[in-house]
Amino acid sequence: MTSIVIRRRLYAAAFAFMASGALATSAAAADAYPAQGEQAETGVRRLSQEQYRNIIADVFGPTIKVGGRFEPDIRRDGLLAVGASAVSVTASGLEQYDQIARSVASQVVSEQHRDALIPCKPAKANAPDDKCAKQFLSEAGRLLYRRPLTQTELAARVKVANDSAKTLKNFYAGLGNSLSTMLVSPLFLFRHDVAEADPAHPGKFRLDGYSKASQLSFFLWDSAPDPVLLAAAEKGELHTADGLNQQVDRMLASPRLKSGVRAFFTDMLSYDLFPTLAKDAMLFPKYSSRVAADAQEQTLRTLADHLVTRKGDYRDIFTTGKTFLTPQLASIYGVPLPTTDGGWQPYEFKEGDPRAGLISQISFAALHSHPGRSSPTLRGKAIRTSLLCQKVPDPPGNVNFTAVQDTSNPNLKTARERLNAHATEAMCTGCHKLVDPIGLAMETFDSAGSFRTTENGAQIDTTGSLDGKDFTDAAGLARALHDSSAATSCVVDRVYAYAMGRSPARGEKELLDQFKKDFAANGYRFPDLMRRIATSDAASRVGQPQMGARSSPKSSQLASQTSATENSQ
């Protein structure tokens, strides 16, 4: 069983910012360590930007705009979802969250939205109304915190609304102020895994119902639990096999599953790097920010269509010619695409076309290239690390890259020639043997993803091998990936880590091996893999929480600090 790491210090750190700042002191006080019997937190994960946006859209509707910059995420073991367990909120980050929260709250209580989003009307618009405030805050709070608010929490929120409404002589402004404090609360910004004693297995612990609901929902839908799932959690249904299966089946059948699948691949394929990806407009005039957005969407759309809509074999993502294009993407692919509205069209690259599957798409070729030239090394490394879950060491700090970077050398016209010259240096040879033979197969795609057969007038040699399997071009490499057991093994490891928010532990090898066998037995159907993990005992089993953490001196000190701060307001 995995040893439990108490993430309380992260919670406390975020709490400390709030407690020490003037921005949200009331919120901090309201969240001060709710007592829930024998329960204890076993981990926290900060919401991703997309999850934040999804929750706001789910709770308040898509017309509420979420602007501003979010705290940067950290990638751990190949996934941001794993890094989410290791990040806190910085002081400047909290300011950003506060700004976003105030913007969201003001929109929710605005004249445009209040009738639709607030379930009651105050007796007087220019005075507090605790009854109406309580109704709204308890309903919204349940969805935002992914569990019902405790009486203490709710009372504190209502008090914030009351005090603000009195001061501002405006019920809605007061309500908005209270809502904004909820949105900067660690209870909203962080997912909390709460453990409880498992009555069916004395001496063992499991996630409580609400934590389980969150785990399912963020895993399958990339958002907070909906009211149906929360109701199932409240009734304890998620602790029964039937109840759990029923909810997982419902969620897998929902169109929202595509959001979950897209979120997973956005993470696995490192699309967080796209905002900083640039191409030299003189060299690659077809590549633009629009193309960058479309390229990601193309891949995600293709994956969602293949894996969810068509329930296709995961391995075929490496070889399928079926995809979706916009006119701008078609321009780079060099294919005609008549459209009536300039939007997305289904498109299929025919058998034998150099475009085969994921690695031949612009998103992959462009993301793992330099601004002015392609990079067999970056592409090979991306295949090894992202798609095969293999480790590739970073280059040493004193490497001389001159030979590789000089694309104008008349004696080294192609990337293969330049890399051969570079890799003669002993310190470079080892890693390049790992990545270059596969990266060079993709040299027929330039830095922007356009197809080419020559570089500087010289024919490009795309022969290579992947773990003993020879190929002659990118399509051959794609076929080798399709047939690679490492590729299917990797995605199982990644999906499990993504769902759990942590890398698989050594003791879980047997469990993962079983998942992999089941994945193969089910024809490598991705939703079946998600179901298998979501309904596994491992997904809800936790080790023994360190119950003493709740009453640690530091925690007590923080609680006192927040109360004192609130009293001083």
Partner 1 sequence: MFDSTQSGARTRRGAKAALSLATSLIALTGVWASAQAAETRSFVVSYFYDANYSDGKTDCPNGMNMSSIDFYRRDLLRVGLSKEKVEEALKDFPGEGGLSQPWVPLVMTRGNGKDNVYTNPETAPDPGLITVSGKHSYGFNLDGKSGKNDFIEPDTKQTGIDNQMYRVMGCVRSYRGLPPPGRPSLVENLWDVLRDVAPAWIISVSSQDSLSKDGDVTITFTRALERITRDASGAAAQADMTYQMDPDKRSHNVMKGKIKNGVVTVDKPHEFHMIFDPYMMAEYNLTKAQMRLELKADGTARGYIGGYLPWRDFFYSIANQGHIKEYATSIDVPGLYYALKRNADADPDPKTKENRRISAAYQIEAVRAFVVDPAASQTADAAQR
62 binds partner 1 (CB under 8 A): no
**Least distance in angstroms from the C-beta of 274 to partner 1:** 15
CB atoms within 10 A of CB 343: 9
507 binds partner 1 (CB under 8 A): no
Distance in angstroms (rounded) separating the CA atoms of residues 484 and 486: 5
Question: Which range in 278-286, 372-380, 457-465, 515-523 contacts partner 1 by CB under 8 A?
Answer: 278-286
296 phi and psi angles, rounded to 5 deg: -65, -45
Element (H, E) at 42: strand 40-46
Q: x-or-dash pattern for partner 1, window 301-330, by CB under 8 A?
A: --------------------------xx-x
CA 167 to chain centre: 40
277 binds partner 1 (CB under 8 A): no
Tell which one of 125, 197, 283, 378 touches partner 1 (CB under 8 A). 283
**Least distance in angstroms from the C-beta of 118 to partner 1:** 43
CB atoms within 10 A of CB 197: 16
271 binds partner 1 (CB under 8 A): no
**Least distance in angstroms from the C-beta of 297 to partner 1:** 17
Residue type, position 34, single letter: P
**Least distance in angstroms from the C-beta of 289 to partner 1:** 9
Distance in angstroms (rounded) separating the CA atoms of residues 51 and 486: 30
Task: Give the residue from 214, 240, 202, 287 showing the smallest Cα distance to 44.
Answer: 214
**Least distance in angstroms from the C-beta of 330 to partner 1:** 6
Size, binding site for partner 1 by CB under 8 A: 27
334 binds partner 1 (CB under 8 A): yes
Nearer to partner 1, 197 or 283 (CB): 283
**Least distance in angstroms from the C-beta of 295 to partner 1:** 13
Question: Which range in 174-182, 336-344, 364-372, 561-569 contacts partner 1 by CB under 8 A?
Answer: 336-344
346 binds partner 1 (CB under 8 A): no
Nearer to partner 1, 337 or 378 (CB): 337
336 binds partner 1 (CB under 8 A): yes
Handedness of CA 181, 187, 188, 190 (dihedral sign): positive
279 binds partner 1 (CB under 8 A): yes
**Least distance in angstroms from the C-beta of 362 to partner 1:** 13
Sites for partner 1 among residues 436-495 (CB under 8 A): 446, 450-454
Distance in angstroms (rounded) separating the CA atoms of residues 6 and 11: 10
Nearer to partner 1, 336 or 468 (CB): 336
Distance in angstroms (rounded) separating the CA atoms of residues 394 and 221: 34
Helices (H), 145-279: 151-168, 171-183, 186-189, 209-221, 227-234, 241-253, 257-268
Handedness of CA 171, 175, 176, 177 (dihedral sign): positive
Tell which one of 287, 324, 519, 526 touches partner 1 (CB under 8 A). 287
520 binds partner 1 (CB under 8 A): no
**Least distance in angstroms from the C-beta of 374 to partner 1:** 12
* Radius of gyration over every alpha carbon of the chain, rounded to an integer in angstroms: 26
**Least distance in angstroms from the C-beta of 447 to partner 1:** 11
Tell which one of 49, 90, 106, 288 touches partner 1 (CB under 8 A). 288
Tell which one of 82, 332, 362, 438 touches partner 1 (CB under 8 A). 332
For 414-449, letters b (16+ CB in 10 Å) and e give bbbbbbebbbeeeebeebbebbbbbbbbbbbbbbbb
Nearer to partner 1, 70 or 451 (CB): 451
Residues 6+ apart with CB under 8 A from 137: 149, 154, 157, 158, 161, 175, 178, 179, 182
Residues 6+ apart with CB under 8 A from 232: 209, 213, 238, 243, 246, 247
Residue type, position 46, single letter: R
Element (H, E) at 162: helix 151-168
Applying CB under 8 A, which residues contact partner 1?
A: 279, 281-288, 327-328, 330-332, 334-339, 342, 446, 450-454
